Structure 1
C-alpha cells in the first residue's frame, strides 16, 4: 500500500496539514486535537519543543525561541542556541517532524510523502532549504507548491482569478487561469515584509508605549506581548472595540487598555496599502474576473475595503481562508497526475560567466518545469569559478547568489557545458560537464555566499591604476579588452555584493593575464 500524501501549509504563524480521503480533503488534527499548530520552536535543557508546548515555554528563559523561522530560510541567519549556531533549516526540522508524527497518528500509517507549500516569491535557496528541512524531518518524497497556487486549487472558481494571499509572514498575489482541469499561473508577485506579523509587532510596540514599558525583542515578556497583540488584532477583525486585560507579568500602573478597530487599522495601513498595490499591478496586467482572499490576515476588514476600492471586480473571501492552502496542497498531492498545473518562475536565473559578464539563463515568468543548456569558455587558466544568481542584476536589492561552482586546473579557452533544470515546484538542479570529462551536479547552497569572501587584496581603484599603468604598452586589441574590463568593473559596482566580489576576482585575473602579455 502506498504512503498517503499529506499537504502541509507551513505558515509563519501556524502550520496545518491535510490529506485526501474518500473524495475530499480533510484537515489533520495535531496531538492536542487542534487543526492549527503554532509555528513556534523552542530549545531548552530538555530538548526541542514545538507548537503549543513551545508557546508555553516561550514566555520563560530558554536557550532559544523562534516564531518566524520560515522567513529566514536560505539566509545566513543562524542564532546561537545551546552553544552553537543553528540555521533556519535546522530549527524547522523538529516542527516538520512533529507534524509528520501527528499525521501518522491520525492516519494509522507511515507517512513519507508530502506536498509542502511556500510563498510564490521564495528563491531557489529558500525552496531548497525547505525541501531539505522536510527530508530531515522524515519525509522522503517532497514536492514544493506555491501557496497562492495551492489556494487556487482549493477554490471552486473558474476563469481568471487573482489570488490574494495575505498571511502571517508574507503577502503573495498570483493570477491563475483555470480551464477545466488545467490551472495556469500567469504571474506572481510577493512581499516578505508585509505580513500579519509586522502588524502584530507594531501593535505590540503601541501597547508597550501605552503601558510605559520598554522591552527588548528577545525578552520573553516581549514574546508574551506579541502573543497578546495577535489576539487583540484578530478579535478586532470581528468586533469594533474591546478592553484588553493586561497580563500580570506586563502590568504596570494600568491593568487594562481599550482598543478600537480603527486603532489597529491605522497601524496596519502601511502594510495593507503595500499589499494592495501588488494586487493592483497584476489586475492592470491581466484583468482577472475576480479576487479571492486567503490567509489569516485577509480577515482584516480594511484590506477588503481597500481591494474593492482599487480593483473593480468582485472581491470575496475564499473558503476557510486559514485552511485553503493546506486543502489545496492535499488536492494537488493526490491528483497531481490528473490535473495539469503550469506555474511560472518567480525570478530570473542567470550566471556570472568567466569574464565577469552576467548572462541570463531563464527569464522571470518562464513556464515551469523548465530546462536550458548553455556552454561557456574560460578566459584564463587555473582555478576558476562560476556563480549562479537569481533576480535582476540591474537591481541589486533583488539579486543574490544561489550557487557557486569552483573549477580547478582549467585550461585557457576550455569549454564547460551546463544543463539547468527547474521542476514544477521551482527546485533547481544544475549539471556541469568539462572537456576533461569531469562532471559535477550542483544544487542551491544552504546559505548565501559568505560575507567573508575576500577580494584577493583588490578594489576597483587599484584595478584601474594597474590598467592605466600598462595601457601605453598595450596593442589596440589589448586596449579594447582593458576598456571593456573597466566598464564591467563599473557595472559590477552597482550589483549585489556577492556578484561584485566575484566580478572583481575575475577582473583581477584578467588584468594579471594582460600584464603577463606585456611583461609587467
Structure 2
C-alpha cells in the first residue's frame, strides 16, 4: 500500500510519492501537478473540488469556498443550503480528491500520508489538519512543518551540512525557519511568521485597485455584484502572475457590468511598478519574522549556507529582491517552490511507513521541529511560570516540582497557558484541570510534579502528580482549547510592545510577595514571643506591621485585566512605599524574628 506526502495549501495543494528512490509528483485527474484548494456546491447538490470548482466560481460565488486553510483551528463555518461546513470538513474534501487521484495515478490503495502545515500553526490548527486527514480516510502518520519538508527536499540533493533559511510565502500564510541540515537530521533551530500574510493579500490589493478604477470611470461599485467581483479577483491573481515575468500586463474583462447604455467592458494596463507600490508594505511585513528567526537561532545572515524560497508568492520579483537585501544572499533556485513541500513530505511518509526510499535508510531520518510559543502554568500572584520555551525542539518532555500556597490544601487547579507574557492574565489559557487527593500539610510541604509532553505532531498533554500520595491527573489540550493564529500573533506582538511594562510589574509583584511573607513571619513571631518584648518595642513592631499591611491592602498583589491600567500607573510609587515599609518592619522586628528562628531550630 502506497504512502504519500501532501502539501495542503491555502491556494493550491500538491501530492507526491516516492518511486524508484526519488520523490515523484502525483498528477491529478485533470492532468495538473497541483490542485486548487477550492470546494464548490452546485444547485443540484453536486460537490466540486479543484480545477472544476475554480472554473465555475464566477457564476456560482455564493456556493464556492476558497482559502479554507486560513480558518483551520477556529469555529468558522460556511453554510450552504442550510448545512454548515467546518474548515476540517472542507479541507477533508480537498484531501479526499488528492487521495482518489493518487490511487488512480498509482494503481493501488493509498492510506498512509504525511500532511504539512505552516511552521507557525498552533496546536489547534495542527489537530484540525490531522482531523481533516482522518475525515478524508487517511492514516496521518505525521504532521510536519512546511519549511522542514522543503529543507528535506533540498537536502536530498545537497547533502553538505549547512544552515538554511526557508522563506515560505504561500497563498495565505508566511513563515520563516532557520534549519540545520546534517547527516540524516533536519533540525529546526527557530521559526517565526505571520498566519495572515500571503498571496491572497497581494491579489486583494490589486483587485481593490481595479475595483476603484472601474467605479471612478463608470460610477458602478462592483463589490455589490458577487459574480463581477469574483471575475476581478481572478483577473488580479492572473495579473500578479504575469507581472512576475513582465513589466506590464493588460487586464481585459468584457461584459463586466451592465450600464444604462448597455454592457460595460473593462480594460486597463497594470505595470509592475504600480503593483510593487500597492504591495510594498506586505513585502516589508516579512522583515520582522526573518530578523526574529535569525536572532532566536543565534546566527547572523552571513552564516547561512542557503536561502530557499517556498510558495508561489516568492516568484514576485519584489519579494526576491527583499530577501536578497535582508540576507545578502541570492536565493536558491534549485527546488520548485510549488512542489518542494509535498516532495519532502513524501520522503518522510515513505520513511515512517518503513519503506526504503533509496535516499535515506528506513527509520533513520530524524526531523526535529519546534514549538511556536512558550507554554506555562499559572502560579501564586498570577505569574505565568514557564515550563517550555518558544522554539524548543520537539518532541518535549519536561517536568517541574511545585508546592501549595495555602496550608492544608487537598487540591490544586492547574491552568495551562500559551504565550510570551510573564503575567498569566496576559496569556491565553488553553486548558484547566484540578488535581485532588493531596495529603493535608502545611503550605510549601506537598510536592506536586507538573509534566508537559508534546509529541512530534505538536499535540500537548499536561499532567500533575502528588509525589507523596501518587495521585495523578492529566489533560490533552484539544481543538477547542487552543489559541487561534490571530491570538498567537497578538501574544508575540504584545510581548515586544509591553516588555518594559511587564518587567516593572514583575519586579513590583516580587516586592509585594516578599512583604507578605515578612508580615506572616512577624505575625507568627508576635504570637509566639510577643509577651517577651518590652511594651515600647512591641508597640513599634505592631505600628510598622500595621503600616505595611495598610499599603498591601490598598490593592491586590496580582493584576486582573480591569486593574491593569490603574495598577501600571500607580505601581511605581506604591512599590517603593511597600519596599520602604518592609525594610522598616524588618529592622524594627529583627530581634523578634531572631527569636522565632531560634525556636524553629
Superposed pair shares fold, TM > 0.5 = yes
State the TM-score, normalizing by the size of structure 2.
0.70
Determine helix, strand or coil for the equivalent of 1:149. helix
2:246 is the counterpart of 1:230: no
Distance 1:441 1:265, change over 3 A: same
Alpha-carbon offset, residue 373 of structure 1: 2.5
Q: Higher Cα Rg: structure 1 or 2?
A: 2
In the alignment, which residue of structure 2 is the partner of 1:445?
A: 479
The 5-angstrom pairing of residues 312-323 of structure 1 reads: 312-323=328-339
In the alignment, which residue of structure 1 is the partner of 2:428?
A: 400
2:416 is the counterpart of 1:388: yes
Alpha-carbon offset, residue 40 of structure 1: 1.2
State the TM-score, normalizing by the size of structure 1.
0.80
2:488 is the counterpart of 1:489: no
Alpha-carbon offset, residue 382 of structure 1: 9.8
* Distance in 2 of aligned mates of 1:217 and 1:360: 50
Alpha-carbon offset, residue 399 of structure 1: 4.5
2:286 is the counterpart of 1:286: no
Contact persistence 1:49–1:94 (CA under 8 A): no
Q: 1:32 aligns with which of 30, 33, 49?
A: 30
Contact persistence 1:379–1:412 (CA under 8 A): no
Deviations 1:485-505 (A, max 9, x none): 82322478669xxxxxxxxxx
Alpha-carbon offset, residue 222 of structure 1: 2.6
2:179 is the counterpart of 1:176: yes
* Distance in 2 of aligned mates of 1:438 and 1:295: 45
2:231 is the counterpart of 1:255: no
In the alignment, structure 2 segments of 5+ residues that lack a partner are 353-362, 485-517, 524-548, 566-601
* Distance in 2 of aligned mates of 1:115 and 1:51: 20
Alpha-carbon offset, residue 152 of structure 1: 0.6
* Distance in 2 of aligned mates of 1:409 and 1:482: 33
Contact persistence 2:175–2:191 (CA under 8 A): yes
Contact persistence 1:124–1:402 (CA under 8 A): no
Determine helix, strand or coil for the equivalent of 1:227. helix
Contact persistence 1:371–1:421 (CA under 8 A): yes
In the alignment, which residue of structure 1 is the partner of 2:502?
A: none
Contact persistence 2:417–2:424 (CA under 8 A): no
Deviations 1:261-299 (A, max 9, x none): 112111121111111443344456423123121210000
Alpha-carbon offset, residue 65 of structure 1: 3.0
Alpha-carbon offset, residue 132 of structure 1: 1.3
Contact persistence 1:161–1:175 (CA under 8 A): yes
Contact persistence 1:185–1:344 (CA under 8 A): yes
2:456 is the counterpart of 1:424: yes
Determine helix, strand or coil for the equivalent of 1:425. coil
Alpha-carbon offset, residue 104 of structure 1: 1.7
Distance 1:305 1:427, change over 3 A: same
* Distance in 2 of aligned mates of 1:9 and 1:113: 14
* Distance in 2 of aligned mates of 1:52 and 1:362: 43
In the alignment, which residue of structure 2 is the partner of 1:147?
A: 146
Alpha-carbon offset, residue 347 of structure 1: 1.3
Alpha-carbon offset, residue 63 of structure 1: 5.9
Contact persistence 1:120–1:147 (CA under 8 A): yes
Determine helix, strand or coil for the equivalent of 1:223. helix
Please identify which structure carries the higher helix content: 2
In the alignment, which residue of structure 1 is the partner of 2:597?
A: none
Q: Which of 411-420 and 179-188 deviates more?
A: 411-420
Alpha-carbon offset, residue 201 of structure 1: 0.6
* Distance in 2 of aligned mates of 1:398 and 1:66: 35
The 5-angstrom pairing of residues 35-50 of structure 1 reads: 35-45=33-43, 46-50=45-49
Q: Which of 103-112 and 278-287 deviates more?
A: 278-287
In the alignment, which residue of structure 1 is the partner of 2:343?
A: 327
* Distance in 2 of aligned mates of 1:54 and 1:493: 52
Determine helix, strand or coil for the equivalent of 2:286. helix
Q: CA RMSD in A?
A: 3.5
Deviations 1:275-325 (A, max 9, x none): 144334445642312312121000001111122223223323341111111
2:215 is the counterpart of 1:219: no
Distance 1:438 1:286, change over 3 A: closer
Determine helix, strand or coil for the equivalent of 2:134. helix
Deviations 1:315-371 (A, max 9, x none): 233411111111111122223522222222221112234874322120012111111
Contact persistence 1:75–1:448 (CA under 8 A): no
* Distance in 1 of aligned mates of 2:403 and 2:292: 41
Q: Which of 427-436 and 262-271 deviates more?
A: 427-436
Contact persistence 1:146–1:425 (CA under 8 A): no
2:53 is the counterpart of 1:51: no
Determine helix, strand or coil for the equivalent of 2:390. coil
Contact persistence 2:378–2:384 (CA under 8 A): yes
Deviations 1:101-148 (A, max 9, x none): 222222222222111111111111111111111112111233111111
In the alignment, structure 1 segments of 5+ residues that lack a partner are 451-474, 496-520
Determine helix, strand or coil for the equivalent of 1:346. coil
Alpha-carbon offset, residue 41 of structure 1: 2.0
Distance 1:269 1:47, change over 3 A: same
The 5-angstrom pairing of residues 65-464 of structure 1 reads: 65-155=64-154, 156-157=157-158, 158=160, 159-212=162-215, 213-216=220-223, 219-250=226-257, 253-283=264-294, 285-287=298-300, 288-335=304-351, 337-353=363-379, 356-374=382-400, 386-394=414-422, 399-405=427-433, 417-431=449-463, 437=471, 439-446=473-480, 448=482
Distance 1:395 1:315, change over 3 A: farther
The 5-angstrom pairing of residues 458-473 of structure 1 reads: none
Contact persistence 1:161–1:291 (CA under 8 A): yes
